[in-house]
Amino acid sequence: DQQVKQNSPSLSVQEGRISILNCDYTNSMFDYFLWYKKYPAEGPTFLISISSIKDKNEDGRFTVFLNKSAKHLSLHIVPSQPGDSAVYFCAASGGRYGGSQGNLIFGKGTKLSVKP
Amino acid sequence: NAGVTQTPKFRILKIGQSMTLQCAQDMNHNYMYWYRQDPGMGLKLIYYSVGAGITDKGEVPNGYNVSRSTTEDFPLRLELAAPSQTSVYFCASRSRDFNEKLFFGSGTQLSVL
């Protein structure tokens, strides 16, 4: 049973427009959420995170929104650039209270293509 | 800073062979992880370690073994390789604090034929 779901395998966006990547989770014990970006033939790299005590975290062109009641988070990229083309993974952690040693549970990823 | 280094980058095994995937980190991180990524799937945790001498199973440990004799190294052993172990393997590490981000190696692409 998937605890972290990314229901869109792919997303295509025009350069300069907004990219919105979505993620849903089922475990209410998750208290920390992260987004990772992965280019082909490379390992994932950390992009941005958010704690469950917040509903928004912003870092430059990247903003993550968390809706705890809906168990939903989204990553907004504005403006999108061709170099943003990559696979984006959503991940969740139970932190100190999840009994999971802080291990991350990953979604299946969304492949973003930003067209010039 | 090298970060997390994985070797080899590519490997082809025959069914029944064994091999060790190497992982080393130079960030003095306590926590180390092995994940596998199958096509179109997310990363699944195989084994993890919270420090030298301490390892524990993740979600998909069958067919694998690990050891952690030093803080720096966390090798993953495949015994009796099977086609189901064809995957991309990622090693990762993080510091002791919860919610610290993971640092990943560049991966090992393994094919079992």
* Polymer length in residues for chain B: 113
Name every chain A residue with its beta carbon within 8 A of the beta carbon of B4. Answer: 43
> In this structure, are residues B52 and B27 in contact, taking their beta carbons and an 8 Å threshold?
no
Sign of the CA dihedral A5, B105, A115, A66? positive
pLDDT 10s digits, B78-113: 989 999 999 999 999 998 776 668 999 999 999 999
Task: Find residue A114's DSSP bridge partners.
Answer: A13
pLDDT 10s digits, A44-57: 999 999 999 999 99
Closest-CA distance of chain A to residue B30, Å:
12
Closest-CA distance of chain B to residue A26, Å:
16
Nearest CB among A9, A49, A95 relative to B101 is that of A49
**Is the model's pLDDT at A95 over the cut of 60?**
no
pLDDT 10s digits, A34-89: 999 999 989 999 999 999 999 999 999 999 999 999 999 999 999 999 999 999 99
Structure tokens belonging to residue A67: 């809706």
Nearest CB among A51, A95, A103 relative to B48 is that of A103
Structure tokens belonging to residue B90: 């990622």
Single out the residue of A67, A68, A69, A47 nearest to residue A58, CA to CA. A47
Structure tokens belonging to residue A14: 């025009």
